[in-house]
Amino acid sequence: MKKPILRLLGLSGLVRKNYSGKQIPTSAGVIFVTSASFAAMIAVVLYGFTSLKAQSALLCLLLVVGSSLVGLIDDVCSSDASRGLIGHVKTSVKERQMTTGLLKAVIIWSLAFVSVTVSRGAKPLFILVFDATLISLAANFMNLLDLRPLRSIKAFSIILALLLLGDYHSSAGLVSVGLAGGVLAALNDELSEECMMGDAGANPLGAALGYWIASRLAVFVKALALLFLILVHIYSERRSLSKAIDGNSVLRFIDRLGRS
């Protein structure tokens, strides 16, 4: 990632402590939106603006850009007082004011609902709510993982590779592939702890993958994915995902791969 971008983030006050206590720029993941936009524009050029494939890519781009922007707002305005979705709900009720974390969750879910409604047409309301929930939880899943360098990036890369193997011709995956370009550009800076992607980067990665899964895969696969995401979120409300990863030899190996 270009040094001027990191310098600009630092000068703007977007600096946070990472897991090792080092003060570094956060929200560097906003750059991912640029590569996603290029991918969507390529889809428009190749298939035509009115084609279903181009429209699917543009709807995914809308979701990605919106997820990144609300993630950026949360990076800027959030505090450590509220943890987890339940924590944000409790704080919002107690203080009678919506936290930025809860606002982010509501906006991402709403964007997901609009995206699947427009892209999938006349579907039962239950299906649309199901798909929107899957997408929004996928977005937050990447955020839950983003506590160590490369952890979210590795999860994104593994899921992206699996989706490409099973559905490589999907127009819904174009934006995810475009995001991968931005991820590669930020790889070295994240590894060397020069920056963090923040919610502005983690949320769009998960949202794009969630959109791909929701719009293309079989109902059974989507149900398994949603169940997994719900269980992870419930677990993370009470326990540490980092400790769970460290307690599993396979996950620990993958997590530490590339890191000292």
Q: Please state the rounded mean pLDDT for residues 156-163.
A: 94
Identify the three-state secondary structure at position 121: coil
225 lies in a domain? yes
Dihedral, CA of residue 57, residue 53, residue 130 and residue 100, to nearest 10: 10
Interatomic CA distance for residues 223 and 227, integer angstroms: 6
104 lies in a domain? yes
Least confident among 18-27, 171-180, 194-203: 18-27
pTM strictly above 0.85? yes
112 lies in a domain? yes
What are 217's two structure tokens? 């895969």
17 lies in a domain? no
13 lies in a domain? no
- Kindly indicate the confidence band of residue 211, based on its pLDDT and cuts at 50, 70 and 90: very high
Residue reference for tokens 């590779």: 161
pLDDT surpasses 70 at 222: yes
Given this model, what pLDDT does residue 175 score?
A: 87
Least confident among 3-7, 133-137, 190-194: 3-7
The domain containing residue 100 runs over which residues?
A: 23-256
The half-sphere exposure of 115 on its side-chain side, counting CA atoms within 13 A, is: 33
Total domains, the chain? 1
62 lies in a domain? yes
Q: What are phi and psi of 25, to 5 degrees?
A: -60, 140
Interatomic CA distance for residues 133 and 145, integer angstroms: 18
144 lies in a domain? yes
Beta-carbon neighbour count of residue 84 at 10 Å? 16
182 lies in a domain? yes
- Kindly indicate the confidence band of residue 226, based on its pLDDT and cuts at 50, 70 and 90: very high
Q: Please state the rounded mean pLDDT for residues 54-77.
A: 87
Burial classification of residue 166, based on how many CB atoms lie within 10 Å of its CB (0-12 exposed, 13-18 middle, 19 or more buried): exposed
Interatomic CA distance for residues 247 and 66, integer angstroms: 35
Identify the three-state secondary structure at position 207: helix
Given this model, what pLDDT does residue 260 score?
A: 60
- Contact between residue 152 and residue 146 where contact means Cβ atoms under 8 Å apart: yes
Angle among Cα 240, 142, 133 to the nearest 5 degrees reads 105
